[in-house]
Amino acid sequence: MSESRVIAIVQARMGSSRLPGKILCDIDGETMLGRIVRRLQRARSLDAVVIATTCVPGDDATEGECTRLGVPSFRGSEHDVLDRFFRASAEHRASVAVRVTADCPLVDPQVVDWVVNEFSAADVDYASNVLQRTFPRGLDVEVISYSALERAWREDDDPSSREHVTPCIYRHPDRFRLHGVVNAEDHSGYRWTVDTPEDLAFVRKIYTHLGHDEFSWQDVLALLRQRPEWAEINRHVQQKVVAYREPSP
Catalogue all structural domains in the chain, each as residue range(s) with its CATH number: 6-190 (3.90.550.10)
What's the pLDDT at 96?
A: 98
* 143: enclosing H helix or E strand: strand 142-145
Identify the pLDDT of residue 243: 54
The pLDDT of residue 2 is: 47
Across the chain, which has 249 residues, the per-10-residue mean pLDDT values are: 82 89 96 98 98 97 97 96 97 97 97 98 97 97 98 93 94 96 96 96 96 94 96 86 51
- Separation CA 113–CA 115 (nearest Å): 6
Q: Most distant CA pair in the chain: distance in Å?
A: 52
Is residue 123 classed exposed, middle or buried when 0-12, 13-18 and 19+ CB atoms within 10 A define those classes?
exposed
Distance in angstroms (rounded) separating the CA atoms of residues 219 and 179: 27
pLDDT of residue 143: 98
Whether 244 and 167 have beta carbons less than 8 Å apart is answered as yes
**Per-residue pLDDT, 249:** 47
